[in-house]
C-alpha cells in the first residue's frame, strides 16, 4: 500500500510525488507509458519532464491504473486538463467516490465548459468535501530544487485540507488554506491566458509600457471573470492563486504559456505539434464564451483567441488597441 496515489507522471505530477516522498510518504505514480514507469522504478529519474533530478526513495510507478488507485485512499490528479475527461471515463468503473482528491491541473474540461472539480462531483459522484484544488506560482523544477514558494489549497473540508497541507508542506513549500475552492481553481485557469497575452506582446516587441498596460488590463479582466463566472472571492484572486501565479507565468522564460504566445506572435505554423502542454491555449476560447454569456468585457482574452485562431498578430493587436481607445474615450473626468 501507498500513502498517496498520483495520477500523472508529467512535470507537476512528478514534483508533487517528490514533495510527498521527501516528507516520508510512500507514493505510487500512474504513468501511461511503460518507458516512463521503467525509468522511475529503475533509475529514480523522469528525465523527459524533470531532467537532471534524482527522485527520492518512496516513489514507485505503474502503468496499471487500477493498481495505482487501489494503493491509496488519497489521490492527486495531475494529468493535463485536456486528458482529464478520458481518464475520468476510465475511473468510473472503480470504487473511488470515498477517496480524498487533490487536483493540481490548471485547466478546464473544455468540451463541457466546466471545471475539473465540478466534473469530479457530477460525473464521479465524489463528495465535495473530499475534493481540494492547489494553485499558485509553482514551476515544477523549482519545487524539486527547494526554491521558496507558496501554494493555495482550496477546500471545503478541514479534514481534507489538513491531509494534503500536512503532507505537502516543507520548509520551502508553504501551503495556505482557503474554503474558496472556486477562487483557487479559477486563478489557475485564468493566469495561463494572461501569460499567452504577454508572450504575444513580447514577440511583437511593442515595448515595456504596453506590456505593463495589457498586464493590468488582464488582471482586471481575470477578476471580473473570476468573480462573475466562477463566483470566486476577490481576495483569493488577488493572492498567489491568480495574481501571484500570473506574474510568475507571464514573465518567466520557463513558462510554456508565455512561449505559446511568443511562438504565435512569430506566426510559427506548427505550434500544435509541440510536445509540451500549455493549458491556457485549451481554455481561452471557452473562457471568452463564458465571459460573453455574462456580458463581461474581455478584450485581452479576445486578442489571445484571435491570434491563436490564425488572425495575424498585429491585426489582432490593432483590434485590441481600438477597444482600449474606445474605453478611454468613454471615461470622463470628474465634474
Could you report the per-residue pLDDT of 88-97, keeping only the tens digit for each? 889 888 888 8
Residues 243 and 98 in one domain: no
Q: Return the minimum-mean-pLDDT range out of 44-48, 59-63, 161-165, 309-313.
A: 309-313
Enter the pTM of the model.
Answer: 0.93
Is 191 tagged catalytic? yes
Residues 222 and 296 in one domain: yes
| Joined grid coordinates for residue 106 | 490548471
The HSE-up count of residue 278 (CA atoms within 13 Å, CB side) is 29
Instruction: Write down the catalytic residue from 191, 295, 322, 325.
Output: 191
Residues 266 and 313 in one domain: yes
The CATH number for 48's domain is 3.40.50.720
Residues 94 and 216 in one domain: no
Distance CA 282, CA 112 (A): 12
Q: Considering its fold, how many domains does the chain have in total?
A: 2
| Joined grid coordinates for residue 227 | 468573480
Domain that holds residue 11: 4-179
Helix H segments across the chain? 11-22, 34-43, 65-70, 81-91, 116-124, 140-144, 158-168, 181-204, 208-228, 234-237, 245-251, 256-265, 279-293, 299-308, 313-330
Spell out the SS3 assignment of 168-237.
HCCCCEEEEEECCHHHHHHHHHHHHHHHHHHHHHHHHCCCHHHHHHHHHHHHHHHHHHHHHCCCCCHHHH
Stretch 136-163: mean pLDDT: 97
What's the pLDDT band for 335 if we cut at 50, 70, 90? low
Distance CA 176, CA 186 (A): 16
What's the whole-number average pLDDT of the chain? Answer: 93
Checking if the pLDDT of 272 tops 70, the result is no
Is residue 308, in this structure, part of any structural domain at all? Answer: yes
Q: How far is CA 169 from CA 75, 100, 146, 151, in A?
A: 17, 17, 11, 9
| DSSP β-bridge partners for residue 109 | 114
Is residue 249, in this structure, part of any structural domain at all? Answer: yes
Residues 216 and 174 in one domain: no
Stretch 65-73: mean pLDDT: 94
Residues 170 and 223 in one domain: no
Residues 20 and 157 in one domain: yes
Distance CA 121, CA 136 (A): 23
Is 68:76 a contact under the CB 8 Å cutoff? no
Last residue of a domain, one of 179, 203, 232: 179
Is 6:28 a contact under the CB 8 Å cutoff? yes
| Joined grid coordinates for residue 173 | 513549500
Amino acid at each position: 500500500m501507498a500513502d498517496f496515489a498520483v495520477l500523472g507522471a508529467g512535470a507537476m505530477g512528478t514534483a508533487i510525488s517528490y514533495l510527498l516522498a521527501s516528507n516520508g510518504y510512500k507514493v505510487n505514480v500512474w504513468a501511461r507509458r511503460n518507458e516512463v514507469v521503467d525509468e522511475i522504478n529503475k533509475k529514480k529519474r523522469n528525465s523527459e519532464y524533470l531532467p537532471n533530478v534524482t527522485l527520492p526513495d518512496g516513489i514507485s510507478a505503474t502503468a496499471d491504473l487500477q493498481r495505482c488507485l487501489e494503493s491509496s485512499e488519497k489521490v492527486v490528479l495531475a494529468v493535463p486538463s485536456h486528458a482529464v475527461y478520458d481518464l475520468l471515463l476510465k475511473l468510473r468503473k472503480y470504487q473511488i467516490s470515498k477517496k480524498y482528491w487533490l487536483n493540481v491541473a490548471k485547466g478546464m474540461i473544455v468540451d463541457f465548459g466546466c471545471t475539473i472539480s465540478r466534473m469530479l462531483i457530477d460525473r464521479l459522484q465524489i463528495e465535495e468535501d473530499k475534493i481540494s484544488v492547489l494553485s499558485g506560482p509553482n514551476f515544477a523544477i523549482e519545487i524539486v530544487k527547494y526554491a521558496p514558494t507558496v501554494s493555495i489549497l482550496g477546500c471545503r473540508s478541514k479534514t481534507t485540507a489538513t491531509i494534503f497541507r500536512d503532507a505537502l508542506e516543507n520548509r520551502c513549500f508553504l501551503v495556505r488554506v482557503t474554503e474558496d475552492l472556486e477562487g483557487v481553481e479559477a486563478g489557475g485557469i485564468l493566469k495561463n491566458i494572461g501569460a499567452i497575452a504577454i508572450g504575444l506582446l513580447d514577440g511583437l516587441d511593442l515595448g515595456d509600457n504596453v506590456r505593463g498596460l495589457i498586464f493590468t488590463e488582464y488582471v482586471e479582466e481575470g477578476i471580473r471573470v473570476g468573480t462573475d463566472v466562477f463566483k470566486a472571492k476577490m481576495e483569493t484572486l488577488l493572492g498567489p492563486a491568480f495574481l501571484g501565479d500570473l506574474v510568475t507565468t507571464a514573465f518567466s522564460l520557463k513558462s510554456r504559456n508565455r512561449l505559446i504566445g511568443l511562438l504565435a506572435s512569430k506566426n510559427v505554423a506548427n505550434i500544435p505539434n509541440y510536445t509540451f502542454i500549455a493549458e491556457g491555449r485549451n481554455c481561452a476560447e471557452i473562457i471568452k464564451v463564458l465571459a460573453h454569456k455574462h456580458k463581461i468585457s474581455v478584450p485581452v482574452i479576445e486578442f489571445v483567441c484571435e491570434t491563436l485562431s490564425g488572425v495575424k498578430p498585429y491585426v489582432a493587436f490593432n483590434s485590441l488597441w481600438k477597444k482600449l481607445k474606445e474605453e478611454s474615450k468613454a471615461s470622463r473626468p470628474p465634474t
